[in-house]
Amino acid sequence: MRQLAACGMPVRQFRDPKQNHGGFAVTVRLQVPDLPEQTATIVFRPKLSTVPRVFTDGPWESPHRYADGSLCMWHPRDEPEKRWTRRDGAAALLGHVVAHLLREEWWRRTGEWPGEEAAH
């Protein structure tokens, strides 16, 4: 929480007992140039706390979202250099989220996905 707040964005922690029993989630209000203002919800599940799920309330159209609407920012079996790990810290996770949202916006405007893609 402190690391995310240090990035200068409003952060709030909450628990969702129905879907996230034993885990926790945080919301971050994102204000990024060239993107609509939106809230990212980062969910840490109790058994998979090293693989957060990220949801946003912004535009959903994207070739890189899971069926539940969460962001597909990297392939789960990617080497650590290509994905976020807890050791990287909260600011790096937020960087992955913002980079993914910028790629989605580029894709919506041009039809092209900038950067690497893994097959779905």
DSSP classification of residue 42: E
pLDDT given at position 19: 59
Across residues 52-63, what is the average pLDDT? 90
Maximum average pLDDT range among 16-25, 77-86, 108-117: 108-117
Which amino acid appears at position 111 of this protein? G
Percent of the chain with pLDDT over 70: 84
pLDDT in tens, 11-50: 776 665 455 566 778 888 888 888 888 999 988 877 666 7
Across 70-77, average pLDDT = 87
DSSP per-residue codes, 46-99: SS-TTS-EEEESS----SSB-TTS-B--S-TTS-GGGS--GGG-HHHHHHHHHH
Q: Residue 49's pLDDT is what?
A: 62
Predicted TM-score of the model (pTM): 0.83
